[in-house]
Amino acid sequence: MKKLLLSLLAVAYLFSARADEGMWIPMLIGKNYDEMVRMGLKLSKEDLYSINHSSLKDAVVQFNGGCTGEIISGNGLLITNHHCGYGAITALSTVEKNYLDNGFWAYSYDQELPAKDVSVLFLDHIEDVTAQINKATGKLKGDKWNKKYEEVRKKIEEKAAQDKKYVANVKDFFNGNQYLLLVYKKYTDIRLVGTPPKSMGKFGGDTDNWMWPRHTVDFSMFRVYAGKDNQPAEYAKDNQPYKAAKSLPVSIAGVKENDYTMIFGYPGRTNRYEISAGVDMALTEVNPSIVNIRTKRLEIMHRHMQQDKAVYLKLTALYQNISNYWKYFIGQTEQLKRLHVVEEKAANEKAFTKWAVKNAPEYKSVVAQYSNVYSAYKPYAKHITYYSECFKAPNITKIASALEPLYKELAKKNPNEDTIKKHVDALKSARKANIKSFDKATDKELFAEMTKMFYNDIPKGQHPDIYQRIIFKKFGATSQDKTFNDYADYVFNNTFLLDSNQFNAFVKNPTIEQIEKDAAADYAMSFIRNYKDNYEPKYDAYVAGKKDLSKKYVKGLMDMNRNKLFYPDANSTMRITYGKVSGYTPQDAVHYDYFTTLDGYIAKYKPNDEEFDAPKELLDLYAKKDYGRYADADGSLHTCFITTNDITGGNSGSPIINGNGEWVGIAFDGNWEAMSGDIAFDKNYKRTICTDARFILFVIEKMGKAHNLIEEMDIRK
């Protein structure tokens, strides 16, 4: 390990150490080890992370780019959240074979279903490459630094990939003060093994989302397959189940208050170094815009999904994704205000500046300069949010937007044939991806509403020319609903993008004339031109300014607090968090216990309800209290529990591991009272919501009758 790494981490990791706060880098967990042991860890440092022998990190994967999964048998059996497997389950479902609604269990390897476009990453090792990056980039700034960084990053990754044997990524930590190389093995032959019915895997729906108490059995099961050498291989019928270097034993002893818990996973993004000006902009401009747009999108999609089961299956995965973060931004805004985060950060920045003036003049103007970056960007933040969330919401817009680079190339005096082919291929990929979740009636209504919302909510001086040049000129402005609905009809009836025959003819011989007369292309490129000419430069300046100043600000915080243990923001790399099982008191006279039971599940049950229905098999088992060996000592079946572990998006599906290294449950959510967590950690309220391992095994064995899966796990009492 390089001296640079050790010296940096000696002053690293933001905010003073609390056992339940912090997303720690596995290879550097040694600094936390004594505290972990004090809390109940029985494993060695090498048991947690080792490059010389198998360790817990070898049993945890990044699942399909946005979640976490873990291996719970030696034969590559993988478990993750139901909502993480939702897209794959939906893609395998039809109206006739509706695995999403009815559940699915494979009772032998040959019954397992190939999950197309699903992959997992196993972390092989981590290396510090900070010295290489800093040596190559030197004192370069701005675009010159970016260009040199991309050049050296690419070289490091290509060397580590060993001719595509591995997937290698260089990631920055501490806002660019440190760089680590993460090397993975990528497996792409992943097969669906089991899933409960959606009524159980998504029990509580949007109503219970981000809430405690919770009763959801949020899991789905897959298996990793490999070639005969146990290495990654493309799907082939004769591939073999992956022989795991490490799998997690499963404990059915249950958890108790104050038990030690540890989570390995791939948290997506936190921004806990954010300054007060950034939080203020989120509260006043960005978050309300996202919520406003998504509310309308969800209302439109839900109505069409309710009318047609085929449309429901086509749109449900996208709907779930939009809905999840719609509620997230509502909760984050509420909790940031409740905790007075803007005011607290402003006070901390004032103290930092006062310290810098006296002790480190190189930092004295950092906060002021950083705040100015936000001040310059704030008048355009809403426009840029609407460009992303509103303009790009309809599938037709996303497909049409892919025409823009092809159009620019065709417009040249001497267009390059290879470049044209590259852009045509990108267009075909965009169409293929978006047609999967395309329903014409839904998309047309969405297009009309999004176009209207952009017009009404964004200052008139920031509009693209399509409104005056086409929409109001052709369709009038006396009735906005009629105007935008008529315009939507016009666009959908005058584009070659939605007709396969016309589209295929175009990509064989693309011409600029066809693009120019296409109504969807005209619409999309009007927005794109407006954005690229007027707002992309502002956004790029904002990002560049933030990057340089946040790096300096974080370095200043480290210099100011040399005796504190700091942790880096989440960035979709493997982290360890540790804490304990614990209830909490969210408000005066209200206390939440640390677990829920099937009794509470049944109390919420509403026959035929979209969110709180339950399958007959579960109701029958409950009536007989047939819980088998999965009942708690008190005779009840525990469904979920909560811990003080620090997680965020991307941790979905992460294993909850006890002090003995055993799997006791699966993380699937955070709690409403602590939704400020990505920006400001709340040590009093922060909880991770987990499905109890016993509830999961009960569903597999008693409802799914999948005894084959139970038998291949190492289950410990």
How many CB atoms neighbour CB 470 within 10 A?
Answer: 17
**CA–CA dist 522, 513 (Å, integer):** 12
Residues 545 and 373: beta-carbon distance below 8 Å: yes
Residues 276 and 346: beta-carbon distance below 8 Å: yes
Reading the block at residue 220, the tokens are 């789905």
Whose structure tokens read 């994967």?
A: 61
**CA–CA dist 53, 476 (Å, integer):** 71
Is residue 218 part of the annotated active site? The answer reads yes
Give 152's contacts (C-beta < 8 A, 6+ positions apart): 132, 133, 136, 137
Q: Are strands 688-692 and 715-716 parallel, antiparallel or unpaired?
A: unpaired
Reading the block at residue 619, the tokens are 């109701």
Q: Are strands 77-80 and 167-173 parallel, antiparallel or unpaired?
A: unpaired
Residues 637/642/645/648 CA torsion (nearest 10 deg): 100
Query: Exposed, middle or buried: residue 301 (CB in 10 Å: 0-12, 13-18, 19+)?
Result: buried
Give 277's contacts (C-beta < 8 A, 6+ positions apart): 370, 371, 374, 375
Reading the block at residue 488, the tokens are 């939507």
Residues 507 and 428: beta-carbon distance below 8 Å: yes
Residues 248 and 657: beta-carbon distance below 8 Å: yes
Is residue 652 part of the annotated active site? The answer reads yes
Q: What are the backbone angles phi and psi of residue 262, rounded to the nearest 5°?
A: -135, 140
Length of the chain, please? 717
**CA–CA dist 692, 256 (Å, integer):** 12
**CA–CA dist 83, 315 (Å, integer):** 14
Give 462's contacts (C-beta < 8 A, 6+ positions apart): 380, 383, 530, 534, 535
How many CB atoms neighbour CB 116 within 10 A?
Answer: 11
Whose structure tokens read 């044939």?
A: 417
Query: Exposed, middle or buried: residue 433 (CB in 10 Å: 0-12, 13-18, 19+)?
Result: middle
Whose structure tokens read 């209504």?
A: 445
**CA–CA dist 522, 532 (Å, integer):** 15
Q: What are the backbone angles phi and psi of residue 44, rounded to the nearest 5°?
A: -85, 165
Is residue 20 part of the annotated active site? The answer reads no
Q: Are strands 60-63 and 120-128 parallel, antiparallel or unpaired?
A: antiparallel
**CA–CA dist 213, 593 (Å, integer):** 8
Chain CA centroid to CA 282, Å: 19
Among 218, 439, 443, 518, which one carries the catalytic annotation? Answer: 218
Among 82, 83, 383, 423, which one carries the catalytic annotation? Answer: 83
Reading the block at residue 75, the tokens are 């034969």
Reading the block at residue 569, the tokens are 């923001």
Among 247, 401, 526, 652, which one carries the catalytic annotation? Answer: 652
**CA–CA dist 578, 48 (Å, integer):** 12
Question: Which residues does the annotation mark as catalytic?
Answer: 83, 218, 652
